[in-house]
Structure 1
Amino acid sequence: MSQALHTTDWAAWSREAAETMVARNAEWPQQMGLTAPLKCRWDLERALLAFEAPLHEVIATVCLVGTSSDQEGSFVWSWANEAIPAQHGQALEVVHDFGRENQLALLTTPRLQGGKPVGMECLSIAARLQRAVGTYVDQQGDVALYFTILHLQVAVPETDQLPN
């Protein structure tokens, strides 16, 4: 390992990852013609989110980074959750490897205490390491799902859906 890895200020590195995601998350919805509040449907098996815009849909290829539970106050990485399709954990290998190489327990511990704040930090770090376009968090009752957005495109309507 290089000397630089041993002298990295990981707190500053993590803050920078969060700041980058805040900036990117301000850009991508606007660029894709989406308006707040974002409305979306997701398909974990296909690793897709579909966002509704006024005149079209935007399809995002995503990675479910993990989930948090308000009740338990914990965050669980997707690679450690058997209920989440394996491709999400595979997409997180870059994050898991980085954590092992740099001895960062945050990135290698399957379940972490701290709930949403820890989930947001892990999401920002994953997005930085995956070079994500942005991130999206969806709340489903007690559970928050943390997605990195890897690719975006406007959905092309099926030809049988066109009026004439």
Structure 2
Amino acid sequence: MSTEPQATDWTAWSREAAESMVRNNAQWPREYGLDAAPACTWDLESATLTFEGSLGPVVATACLVGTTSDSEGSFVWSWANEAIPRQHGQALEVVHEFGREHQLALLTTARISGGRPEAMECLGIAARLQRAVGTFIDQQGDVTLYFTLLHLRVEPVQRERLH
């Protein structure tokens, strides 16, 4: 009987993270009254995304995991992008540390060659390690932004007072 620890199958672990992300992304929009493609605005400084839903505005505390550029053909982690506010990189420290601890280059390399498939894998892993409620992706011209949603809340609807 061997007492050596089992080696982790990182491919299976990553696949499980992606499957969990798909399940979560099917659930949270329904719970918050959001249709298939909710209108969304994001604010990187406040680390929030605001969705317009049938229950009112839904505000997510978010982490910008990283970005891809179609023209550059790469994914860049937020912790490695000086243009991204620092709080996003700080929120990703759990992912970066996990990568260092397990010697996973995907999680410790600032710029990864590729595009959406690589970004989706990184997003799923970040969501799993951050215990995110869900994820959200937005396209801005050549750049695609990949967010984890860490907390969601419905904002009370402001009603006009009658005098």
State whether TM-score is above 0.5. yes
Give the structure 1 partner of residue 142 of structure 2.
Answer: 142
Structure 1 stretches of 4+ moved >6 Å: none
CA distance in 1 between partners of 2:109 and 2:59 (Å): 31
What secondary structure, in the 3-state scheme, does the structure 2 residue paired with 1:135 have? Answer: strand
Which structure 2 segments of 5+ residues have no match?
none
Q: Determine if the alignment matches structure 1 residue 81 to structure 2 residue 49.
A: no
CA deviation digits over 1:42-96, x for unaligned, max 9? 0000000000113411000000000001111100000000000000000000000
Deviates further, 46-55 or 131-140: 46-55
Q: Greater helix share, 1 or 2?
A: 1
Deviates further, 48-57 or 132-141: 48-57
Deviates further, 65-74 or 99-108: 65-74
Give the structure 2 partner of residue 66 of structure 1.
Answer: 66
What secondary structure, in the 3-state scheme, does the structure 1 residue paired with 2:51 have? Answer: strand
What secondary structure, in the 3-state scheme, does the structure 2 residue paired with 1:83 have? Answer: coil
% same residue: 68
CA distance in 2 between partners of 1:38 and 1:163 (Å): 28
> Following TM superposition, by how much is the alpha carbon of 1:157 offset from its aligned partner in structure 2, in angstroms?
3.2
> Following TM superposition, by how much is the alpha carbon of 1:162 offset from its aligned partner in structure 2, in angstroms?
2.5
Give the structure 2 partner of residue 114 of structure 1.
Answer: 114
CA distance in 2 between partners of 1:32 and 1:76 (Å): 30
- Aligned CA RMSD, in angstroms, stands at 1.2
Give the structure 1 partner of residue 154 of structure 2.
Answer: 154
CA distance in 1 between partners of 2:160 and 2:66 (Å): 38
Give the structure 2 partner of residue 43 of structure 1.
Answer: 43
CA distance in 2 between partners of 1:162 and 1:107 (Å): 49
What secondary structure, in the 3-state scheme, does the structure 2 residue paired with 1:22 have? Answer: helix
Which structure 1 segments of 5+ residues have no match?
none
TM-score, scaled to structure 1: 0.93
CA distance in 1 between partners of 2:153 and 2:55 (Å): 14
**1:153 corresponds to which letter in structure 2?**
R
